[in-house]
């Protein structure tokens, strides 16, 4: 079941035709379905019911205030990786007691803000960071709840740019150094050691790598307990993949069953940090065909969204389904197309050799599964204001981030004294 389906020949988000939103806000735009968010969150939370688990939505996947608030209203906590995401989670109404702070480069001011807010836990990634958190907590006169993130050295079997659990990746404390680091944490006056955190990568489509990483975590819990270090909470990170093309990632229930099997006997509280699997399939990027260029070897369908709006294909060679918003006739011939954006880079390609029906300028296309790591990774490259965001609920829709105007974009720059004013203008004219 998808919340994006054809109704009377037009692709709709729930009950709203995407053509209607395009008329109202122009193109390109992101569109999210409340029902899809609700359904995905519900399936995930339901799978972990009975396991004493807190589901902390990874804001990095989509930090739009309305998206975070929708999930928070359903009971989600938040996994944040910056002071900005922390502010956003709090603004969206996520209770501090359901916020975890991850990341390899937390800065002092961010650690301070997290401690002052009274969040559930900071996931510390190195011994150096541990000492900093201890000192900041001491200066605030409190004890910082801390889990240590370990690097289990497992191959997540995902794209190299989104794998995090091998020892050569920058993340976490090597398993070999874990004993020492935990002993250190347990001895620090202003650290309240809560547990272990792990995250091995994103867009995992099988359980095997999770299982081997989690097996190592369970082994570590036992070893630490033998040394008298109590571990009461395990943060298992995110990483559950979604079906972009023909992948068949595990369902949340299968994932939860495996987690229960590995950790059930340890009596630990759990934290999960899903991002992509809650929001990925809940969003599309709608773009308009600017023109069609028949090259010698290819049919180029040039659209008005670019890699500045959706970077995943350019950065990770990621596959995204592409559907015409006007339902093609059943007999329409599908021929290969290069769907490309207007940005001056060959990497600005959304799809290559993609079978698509005939397309004419002005037609709308929906780029599927764009709800995660889409809008959040947008930029203004080529001085293009990134696509706005819209949320649908039933038959209504609302703009949840308007399109920045060119004026907004250009007004961010400033001239230094030596380039401003009449004198500089004269110099420039002479040059
Ligand atoms: N927790 C931690 C510590 C993480 O680093 C991440 C993702 C997550 C949770 C959420 O993972 P998810 O459930 O979404 O897989 N931009 C890339 C993905 C980068 C993921 C980074 N970390 C992409 O577009 O595929």
| pLDDT digits 0-9 by tens, 346-369 | 999 999 999 999 999 999 999 999
Q: For the segment 245-282, what is each residue's pLDDT rounded down to a tens digit?
A: 999 999 999 999 999 999 999 999 999 999 999 999 99
Element (H, E) at 67: helix 65-73
d(CA 54, CA 75): 9
Atom number in ligand 1 closest to CA 312: 24
CB contact at 8 A, 179 and 223: yes
Question: Contact at 8 Å (CB) between 190 and 138?
Answer: yes
- Do the beta carbons of residue 147 and residue 194 sit within 8 Å? yes
Angle between helices 34-47 and 252-263 (to 10 degrees): 30
Q: Is 373 in the pocket of ligand 1 (CB under 6 A)?
A: yes
pLDDT band, residue 185 (cuts 50/70/90): very high
Phi, then psi, of 200 in degrees rounded to 5: -105, -5
Ligand 1 center from residue 239 Cα (angstroms): 6
pLDDT at residue number 318: 98
- Give the number of other Cβ atoms within 10 Å of residue 15's Cβ: 14
Residue of 196, 200, 263 whose CA lies nearest to 224: 196
Enter the tokens of residue 65.
């205030």
Which of 56, 236, 275 is the best mutation target for the ligand 1 pocket, counting ligand atoms within 8 Å of the beta carbon and taking the most?
A: 275
Please count the helices (runs of H) and the strands (runs of E) in the chain. Answer: 13, 21
- Give whole-number Cα distances, 404 to 166, 215, 344, 399, in Å: 39, 47, 21, 12
In the annotation, is 56 catalytic? no
Cis (ω within 30 of 0) for the bond into 28? yes
Q: What are phi and psi of 55, to 5 degrees?
A: -95, 110
DSSP 417: G
Q: Ligand 1: does its nearest atom lie under 6 Å from the Cβ of 241?
A: no
Closest CA to 321 of 282, 350, 289, 279: 350
Q: Which tens digits make up the pLDDT trace of 320-335?
A: 999 999 999 999 999 9
CA of 201 to the centre of ligand 1 (A): 7
Q: Is the pLDDT score of 401 beyond 90?
A: yes
Encode pLDDT of 57-76 as tens digits: 999 999 999 999 999 999 99
d(CA 398, CA 364): 20
Mean pLDDT along residues 368-377? 98
Whether the CB of 58 sits within 6 Å of ligand 1 = yes
């Amino acid at each position: 079941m998808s919340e994006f389906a054809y109704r009377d020949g037009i692709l709709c988000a729930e009950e709203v035709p995407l053509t209607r939103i395009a008329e109202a806000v122009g193109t390109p735009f992101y569109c999210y379905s409340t029902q899809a968010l609700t359904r995905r969150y519900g399936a995930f939370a339901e799978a972990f019911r009975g396991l004493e688990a807190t589901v902390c939505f990874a804001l990095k996947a989509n930090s739009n205030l309305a998206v975070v608030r929708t999930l928070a209203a359903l009971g989600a906590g938040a996994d944040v990786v910056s002071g900005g995401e922390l502010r956003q989670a709090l603004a969206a109404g996520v209770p501090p007691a359901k916020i975890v702070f991850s990341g390899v480069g937390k800065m002092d001011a961010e650690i301070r803000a997290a401690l002052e807010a009274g969040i559930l836990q900071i996931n510390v990634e190195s011994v150096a960071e541990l000492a900093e958190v201890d000192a900041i907590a001491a200066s605030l006169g409190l004890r910082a709840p801390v889990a240590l993130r370990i690097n289990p050295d497992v191959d997540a079997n995902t794209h190299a740019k989104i794998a995090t659990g091998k020892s050569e990746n920058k993340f976490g404390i090597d398993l070999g150094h874990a004993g020492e680091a935990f002993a250190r944490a347990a001895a620090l006056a202003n650290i309240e050691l809560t547990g272990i955190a792990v995250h091995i990568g994103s867009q995992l489509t099988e359980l095997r790598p999770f299982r081997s990483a989690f097996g190592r975590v369970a082994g570590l819990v036992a070893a630490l307990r033998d040394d008298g270090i109590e571990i009461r909470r395990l943060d298992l990170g995110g990483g559950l993949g979604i079906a972009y093309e023909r992948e068949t990632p595990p369902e949340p229930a299968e994932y939860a069953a495996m987690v229960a099997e590995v950790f059930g006997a340890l009596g630990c509280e759990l934290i999960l940090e899903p991002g992509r699997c809650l929001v990925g399939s809940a969003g599309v990027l709608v773009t308009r065909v600017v023109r069609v260029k028949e090259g010698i070897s290819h049919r180029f369908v040039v659209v008005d969204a670019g890699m500045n709006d959706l970077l995943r294909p350019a950065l990770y060679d990621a596959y995204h389904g592409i559907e015409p918003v006007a339902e093609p006739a059943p007999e329409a011939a599908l021929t290969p197309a290069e769907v490309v954006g207007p940005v001056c880079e060959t990497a600005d390609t959304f799809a290559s050799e993609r079978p698509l029906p005939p397309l004419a300028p002005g037609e709308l296309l929906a780029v599927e599964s764009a709800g995660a790591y889409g809008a959040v990774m947008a930029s203004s490259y080529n001085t293009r204001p990134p696509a706005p965001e819209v949320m649908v609920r039933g038959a209504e829709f609302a703009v949840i981030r308007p399109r920045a105007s060119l004026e907004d974009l250009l007004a961010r720059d400033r001239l230094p004294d030596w380039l401003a004013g009449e004198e500089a203008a004269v110099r420039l004219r002479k040059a």
